[in-house]
Amino acid sequence: MKKLDEILNANPNRRSEYTLERMMELIEPRDRDELILALGNLVHSGRIQKLIRVVSRRGQGGIGDFDSIEQVPSEMLDSRTGVNVEVTPDDLQFIYVVPAQHDHR
């Protein structure tokens, strides 16, 4: 996937992050699963990281990043608003992080 390579090398000097849907928009793969598989391989090889972000419903910013779905609590403090919130699947985003290239060396 040429477009995926372009994304990986777009910002070599800084960390960049993309939601899965943004990746879908930029790459326009023939098959969603094909892209998810390619991203999974990159995660496995250590080229990128995948995280699951709980997003504040009111503040829209992240309130917690997790490595796996099992780690996501069912309830947590929304630091954007200062109150405890119940976490539902609607509050989760899959984020792919491309580290700055010097972080790789």
Partner 1 sequence: MKNQNELILAGEGVPETTIEKAKQILKLMQGGTSLPVVGEFLKAKELHHSAGSWEDLEEKRILPALRNRKVTLEDLNQLLAEAEEFGRCHVFLYHAQKSELERYLDPNQIKKTCDRLKISNVLSDVIVEELPDKPTITQIRQETSHNRTAWVFKIVEKREQTSFVEDVRDGDTFTRKYKIESVRAVNTARLHDSGLLEIRIQSHLNSNRYDSDITQLWTMLRDFLPTAKFAELPLRKAKARLLDDREALKDKFRFSNSTLKDTNGNTIVASTGADTEDLFEGSSVGPSLDQFQKHGGYCDSSNIWLREREGAIDREVHVLLSGRSNEFAINANCSRREYEYVLNELRAINR
Residue 43 or 56 having the CB closest to partner 1: 56
DSSP 3: H
Binding mask 27-46 for partner 1 (x = CB under 8 A): -xxxxx--------------
| Residue 96 in contact with partner 1, rule: CB under 8 A | no
Classified as helix, coil or strand, 38 is: helix
Does residue 76 bind partner 1 (CB under 8 A)?
no
Give the 3-state secondary structure of residue 54: strand
Does residue 47 touch partner 1 according to CB under 8 A? no
Q: How far apart are CA 40 and CA 69, in angstroms?
A: 15
Closest among 39, 47, 43, 20 to 101, alpha carbons compared: 47
Token reading at 14: 């800084």
Question: Quick one: which of 12, 25, 44, 101 contacts partner 1 (CB under 8 A)?
Answer: 25
* Residues within the interface to partner 1 (CB under 8 A): 10-11, 14-19, 21-22, 24-26, 28-32, 60-62, 88-90, 95
